[in-house]
């Protein structure tokens, strides 16, 4: 069974803090993705990575960065948290190969910035 683990289920941070969201996968997959989910806006792609040390911007990268030092771990970084980054953050990896099988998601981190 594919496992995608997000270290925190709930986080509360103050405006201006640097925030790290961690995602770990056990499938040795090259590709990892970070999405944020907001009511009425669906899931929007923030950043993704095709391999260690590689990163690509998604559709809404502003205010975020990422780190992929090891294949199994993909970190999302909020350099200076703001209230408009209050959201549910979901990490995902491909479930299958060759583009078949969609994604497996982590359980999500609900971040509140106060």
Partner 1 sequence: GENVEQHPSTLSVQEGDSAVIKCTYSDSASNYFPWYKQELGKRPQLIIDIRSNVGEKKDQRIAVTLNKTAKHFSLHITETQPEDSAVYFCAADRDDKIIFGKGTRLHILP
Nearer to partner 1, 16 or 102 (CB): 102
Is residue 63 close enough to count as binding partner 1 by CB under 8 A? no
Tokens of 5: 């683990």
Contact mark string toward partner 1, 22..41, x via CB under 8 A:
---------x-x-x----xx
The residue count for binding partner 1 (CB under 8 A) is 25
Least separation in angstroms between residue 25's CB and partner 1 is: 14
Q: Which of 99, 54, 95, 96 is nearest to 74 (CA)?
A: 54
- Residue of the chain from 16, 107, 112, 114 that contacts partner 1 (CB under 8 A): 107
25 C-beta neighbours (distance < 10 Å), count: 22
CA pair distance 107, 104, nearest whole angstrom: 10
User: Which residues 6+ apart lie within 8 Å of 69 measured at CB?
Assistant: 52, 53
Through-space distance between the first and last CA atoms of the chain, rounded to whole angstroms:
37
Is residue 69 close enough to count as binding partner 1 by CB under 8 A? no
* Binding-site ranges for partner 1 (CB under 8 A): 31, 33, 35, 40-45, 48, 50, 58-59, 90, 95, 99-108
């Amino acid at each position: 069974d594919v496992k995608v683990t997000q270290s925190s289920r709930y986080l509360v941070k103050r405006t201006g803090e640097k925030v790290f969201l961690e995602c770990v996968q056990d499938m040795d997959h090259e590709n990892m993705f970070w999405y944020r989910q907001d009511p009425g806006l669906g899931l929007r792609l923030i950043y993704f990575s095709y391999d260690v040390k590689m990163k690509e911007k998604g559709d809404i990268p502003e205010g975020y960065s990422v780190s992929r030092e090891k294949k199994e771990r993909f970190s999302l970084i909020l350099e200076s948290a703001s209230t408009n980054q209050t959201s549910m953050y979901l990490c995902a990896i491909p479930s299958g190969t060759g583009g078949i099988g969609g994604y497996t998601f982590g359980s999500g981190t609900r971040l509140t910035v106060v």
